[in-house]
Amino acid sequence: RGVPVGYFELLPHADDSVEIASFGLLPQFIGQGFGGQLLTAAIERAWALAPARVTVHTCTLDGPHALRNYLARG
């Protein structure tokens, strides 16, 4: 506890949505199950802002497990 494993950035938009604009793990924590926990925390924090929707954009530069992680959390 107390050791950063990654980061996320939430970006509220004028259309009443919140975007998970940035998300990632520090290299030494990749593959240890922290990605799911961190993404869940980002989603919960985003919904706590009471938006109409929460979005995340992906690209082929994301890590190899990123898409599976995003899909698993809706």
Task: Give a yes or no: residue 60 inside a domain.
Answer: yes
Task: Give a yes or no: residue 1 inside a domain.
Answer: no
Q: Could you list the residue range(s) of the whole structural domain that residue 68 is in? A: 6-72
Q: Note the pLDDT of residue 5.
A: 96
In DSSP notation, the chain reads -----EEEEEEE-TTSEEEEEEEEE-GGGTTTTHHHHHHHHHHHHHHTT--SEEEE---TTS-TTHHHHHHHT-
Instruction: State the pTM of this model.
Output: 0.84
Mean pLDDT calculated for residue range 51-68: 82
Task: Give a yes or no: residue 14 inside a domain.
Answer: yes
Tally of structural domains, the chain: 1
pLDDT band, residue 29 (cuts 50/70/90): very high
CATH number of domain containing 52 = 3.40.630.30
